[in-house]
Amino acid sequence: MKPLDIHSDMNLRKHFLTIFLLVTVCLIPGHGQVPHLKREMRAVWVATVGNIDWPSTPGLPVEQQKMELTDLLDQHVENGMNAIVFQIRPGCDAMYPSPIEPWAHWLTGTQGKAPDPFYDPLQMMVEECRKRNLELHAWFNPYRAVVNYAENPIDTTHVAAKHPEGILTYGSNRYLNPGLQEVRDYVSKVVADVVRRYDIAAVHMDDYFYPYKIKDQEFPDEATFRNYARGFQPDEKEDWRRNNVDLIILQLQDTIKAIKPWVQFGISPFGVWRNKSKDPMGSETASSQTNYDDLYADILLWLREGWIDYVEPQAYWHIGFEIADHKKIAEWWDTNSYDRVLYIGNGAHRLNRKSDTREWRSPKEIIRQIDMDRSLPNVSGNFYFNSKAFQRNPVNINRTMQKKIYPYPALIPVNPIMPEIRPEPPSDLVAQEKGKHILLTWNAGSVHTTRYFVVYSFGKRDFHD
């Protein structure tokens, strides 16, 4: 059974589709075969910080920005992707018109400066993704306030200028102070504004909670700990930090669901929760930094308590890597997902014919990873970092995606914990033979809730009563 993903024009009440008769075969996964998966997450990250993925450089003419955006979406559709993770808040700034935070300088070249002629990149992404049947996840960074503060001046409306008392400097960056309730309220307000105004499928946050540790530098929150310890003892500072992050995760989940219960809240943590050498529950890894001990993100607690709706660990290493083996990490999360939807993150950005690591010199590593990830019972798909990897097309990865990994379309997986919203069924279905084709006509039902239709074709041997 092969799905034909047919996009519907929401402005039309009648839909006229010509469907070619196809004889399809349901493949059993095996060597040289690709399963016809009805539902599978196939997402790609589009990073804006540092102009990693989009736009290619700050201050491009608006038409060029738009062209780059549609070009990259077209490439991902051609590769079989069905979801986009779009970074809309790189550092207390915005890739959309925000009433709370200034425009990001990654877009226009100057923080606080709007695009000219004006447009809304996030609304454009909503509309362009909808045209292509791509699910859109809005990606926020909760604490990062200023990237490379010595080189990137901030606008007078930036939170670091308006409320310096809530900012901590660590290394070359500045951060919102995670120990303050005012910070939690501020971040929740920013997220609430986007959830309320934009038609997104999910709010997404990555691995950047407390920053990755810098050797011989302590994160400067001692004064905050003394003033806002909330009952934690002097030797419990690390538990206090984890509790700070717990509190913002719980508050964000409550905020999102109060506005739109159907919008998901997902996290893509660093691939290693804890090393088994430090905790018997941990993975067989030897990572120098981990979520629990260094980023103060207790992902397993959030999964157990139901504070997040899906998890997507970043397993960006190759299979067999001694320190952090993609296979062992994926298997560990498969066992520890606590009935939450689980996706696996794959490091397409590592592909390079000149890589020091043999495994990344060809697309075979990605094929091996996807085959392995698909074999795990709780894995529902994959997220690829990053968009530019497919635009550069190292090792001819695009052909691999199209021919060997995603030759057939797939629907987004259903998240069983989310409220089910069923559109009205189409009615008045009429099938007419038109030579070698069949013309299907139907009434779309509710044009406000229906995003697209999926039409299946069957050969005689595929059809069963």
Q: Are 276 and 284 in contact (CB under 8 A)?
A: yes
Q: Are 363 and 406 in contact (CB under 8 A)?
A: no
The two structure tokens encoding residue 311: 């998890």
**Predicted local distance difference test score (pLDDT) of residue 65:** 98
3-state secondary structure of 176: strand
- Does residue 29 register a pLDDT over 90? no
> Quick one: average pLDDT of 410-414?
95
**Predicted local distance difference test score (pLDDT) of residue 462:** 65
Model pLDDT for residues 124-139, shown as the tens digit of each residue: 999 999 999 999 999 9
Least confident of 14-23, 93-102, 219-228: 14-23
Helices 121-131, 62-78: axis angle to 10 degrees equals 30
Pairing of strands 2-7, 452-457: antiparallel
Q: Are 209 and 143 in contact (CB under 8 A)?
A: yes
Burial tier of 90 (Cβ tally within 10 Å: 0-12, 13-18, 19+):
buried
With cut-offs at 50, 70 and 90, classify the pLDDT of residue 464.
low
**Predicted local distance difference test score (pLDDT) of residue 1:** 36
**Predicted local distance difference test score (pLDDT) of residue 175:** 98
- Does residue 17 register a pLDDT over 50? no
- Does residue 244 register a pLDDT over 80? yes
> Quick one: average pLDDT of 345-367?
97
With cut-offs at 50, 70 and 90, classify the pLDDT of residue 420.
confident
Model pLDDT for residues 360-381, shown as the tens digit of each residue: 999 999 999 999 999 999 999 9
- Does residue 185 register a pLDDT over 60? yes
Residue among 89, 109, 208, 211 nearest 155 (CA)? 109
Tell me the Cα Rg of the chain: 23
pTM of the model: 0.91
- Does residue 14 register a pLDDT over 90? no
- Does residue 2 register a pLDDT over 90? no
